[in-house]
Structure 1
Amino acid sequence: MKTQAYSAGTIINALATGYGCAFGLDLRLRVRVDFEVDDNVIIEDRIERKSVVLDTVLNHFGLNAVVEVRSEIPKGSGLGSSSAFLNALLLAIYKHLSKPLNAEDILRLNAKLSLKCGISYTGAFDDASASLLGGIVLTNNVNMQILRWEFKKAKAVVLIPNFERGEIDLGKIRSDKSLVKKAVEFARKGDYKNAMYYNTLHYCRAIGYPLEIVEVVKDLDCCCGLSGNGPCFVAFGDVKEVREVWKAYGDVIETKIVNEPCDDVVVTSNLFSSL
């Protein structure tokens, strides 16, 4: 069984307020799953390993599987690699069990399993939604509902900086939410440029990343900011100049926003809530 899911770039990180905003990136994680086995194994870069996450997901369904992973998404980068893995795995399981590919069921189970496995502070419902559905999503991660979903044709770039991920201090991140609340209001209006900027101001200060990376390109015709908990930064829009400027800070990947679901999922109104 072969399935795939997209990477997710961040507009608003949900850690501070419970509201997240993300977009699907055309960096893909693909899995090939064999269910006719007696033990659970992940194979990645030709290396076999055990995984608590894999065990937790498969135990939920009473299954065993060998999962071969091929991913274009940098791990531990703030680009939704865990959400993409869970989406791809759940799609494979649903197909194996001949279950309807209901987006609501898959996304909410993704978030619940993410919390259970301890790989997310909020369930990452925003990342999961962008990874499965593509486009741009604004979500309430607490209620696991999508507030806004739209498609936007745009090129994008990802900066993999030459520094490591900073320490996540939830107390510091949640002590003053004013900037992120502004970001949420901008996102509600579809003003993603300002939403990303105010989100980045907050999280770069709280985690300790240099604001300079965004400041040097914020006046260009693009939306740019920190992705997830970092250390990666993302931008979309007219990113030609951004790509050149960001090369001074690390490696730059060129990609685009994806504007269709990663599989033939059924999207129902129950997944959505009004603004």
Structure 2
Amino acid sequence: MEGQAVAPAAGTVLNALANGKGSAFAIDEYTTATVELDPERDGVVGRVAEEADADTTLIERCVATVTDRFGDGEGGRVHTESDVPMASGLKSSSAAANATVLATLDALDAADEVSREDACRIGVDAARDAGVTVTGAFDDASASMLGGVTVTDNASDELLAREERDWHVLVWTPPERSFSADADVDRCRQVAPMADLVADLALDGDFGRAMTVNGLAFCAALDFPTDPVVEAMPTVEGVSLSGTGPSFTAVGEREALEALRERWSEREGRTWLTTTQTEGTQIT
């Protein structure tokens, strides 16, 4: 009873911490989950390839939830490996949860029994149980699971909109880490008027401007520098702090992003070009 799936990372259009509504877009960077189930085994043991001492509660909870609902409570092992840096604002937890849920369904031969949206909600519930998210991160998880750009109501786990955009994407990830569960929620709620504006822009399909307004507001709320956003604004379609940081993402034409990359690369950390992803999480 084995299964495997890959899930894309994502960047932020609207951070849901301010008003409960969020928006994100999938990018061409992946986390792979491999699940081995054993009916004779009690419990689930997880392992993250990149960090031997990483907290594996989320992926273990994903496996257990799926086997409880669609199997016979099988135990087993889950192993993830990823190109997505952890605690960087690029939705590594959502990608790991999505990949693990689909890999477990694959191992149970039950993937056809569950819609992609519902599979995504399983991972969101597991993330809440594991305490790795404040909002439930349905926005991030839906973008990773479904691909494209999604807009969600995280209070009700409702998908409000999904569209596809063929963007080039520039990512800058500083060496620091920022865990979503540690974010100052009260301070983020103070920018709710701007988040309401961003939600309206996103629902109108104006994702680029939505992203940039979000970036300026949440850099201020979370005490990140606005310089990367200001540098990008004249030439890109949209730019923002991704999640609760520390990564920044910019979207637009490749030529403009290549020029911006030279500026962003002057800072410490990793800067790279990728593209949006529209297929979402896939069983392999």
> Does the 8 Å contact 1:12/1:199 carry over to 2?
yes
> Does the 8 Å contact 1:41/1:49 carry over to 2?
no
Other-structure match for 1:214: 229
Q: 1:144 to 1:240 in 2, by over 3 A?
A: same
Give the deviation of 1:43 after TM superposition. 4.4
> Does the 8 Å contact 1:179/1:201 carry over to 2?
no
- In 1: Cα distance, 2:35 partner to 2:177 partner: 32
Range moving further from structure 2, 188-197 or 127-136: 188-197
- In 2: Cα distance, 1:176 partner to 1:151 partner: 28
Could you list the runs of 5+ residues in structure 2 that have no partner in the other structure? none
Give the deviation of 1:165 after TM superposition. 3.2
Aligned match for 2:261, one of 231, 239, 243: 243
Other-structure match for 1:184: 199
Give the deviation of 1:97 after TM superposition. 1.9
> Does the 8 Å contact 2:239/2:250 carry over to 1?
yes
The answer to whether residue 123 in structure 2 is matched with residue 110 in structure 1 is yes
- In 2: Cα distance, 1:95 partner to 1:236 partner: 34
Matches within 5 A, 1:142-221: 142-165=155-178, 168-221=183-236
Q: 1:111 to 1:253 in 2, by over 3 A?
A: same
Deviations 1:161-190 (A, max 9, x none): 255538621111113411111111111111
Which letter maps to 2:91? Answer: G
- In 2: Cα distance, 1:13 partner to 1:43 partner: 26
Deviations 1:42-93 (A, max 9, x none): 1414847773223323332223222222201010011110011110110011
Q: 1:48 to 1:165 in 2, by over 3 A?
A: closer
> Does the 8 Å contact 1:16/1:177 carry over to 2?
yes
Aligned match for 2:12, one of 7, 10, 19: 10
Give the deviation of 1:132 after TM superposition. 1.0
The answer to whether residue 274 in structure 2 is matched with residue 259 in structure 1 is no
Deviations 1:138-174 (A, max 9, x none): 1111121211111111111110125553862111111
Q: 1:189 to 1:41 in 2, by over 3 A?
A: closer
> Does the 8 Å contact 1:6/1:26 carry over to 2?
yes
Aligned match for 1:67, one of 78, 82, 85: 78
Aligned residues: 264
Aligned match for 1:136, one of 138, 149, 160: 149
Indicate the percent of aligned positions where both proteins have the same amino acid: 30
- In 2: Cα distance, 1:136 partner to 1:22 partner: 6
> Does the 8 Å contact 2:98/2:281 carry over to 1?
no
Q: 1:222 to 1:241 in 2, by over 3 A?
A: farther
Give the deviation of 1:257 after TM superposition. 0.1
Which letter maps to 2:56? Answer: S
Give the deviation of 1:205 after TM superposition. 0.8
Q: What is the root-mean-square deviation of aligned Cα atoms in Å? A: 2.0
Q: 1:44 to 1:196 in 2, by over 3 A?
A: same
What TM-score comes out, normalization by structure 2 length?
A: 0.87
- In 2: Cα distance, 1:150 partner to 1:223 partner: 16
Which letter maps to 2:37? Answer: F
Query: 3-state SS of the aligned residue for 1:65?
Result: strand
The answer to whether residue 60 in structure 2 is matched with residue 55 in structure 1 is yes
Could you list the runs of 5+ residues in structure 1 that have no partner in the other structure? 265-275
Other-structure match for 1:268: none
Runs of 4+ that moved beyond 6 A: none
Other-structure match for 1:272: none
- In 2: Cα distance, 1:168 partner to 1:141 partner: 17
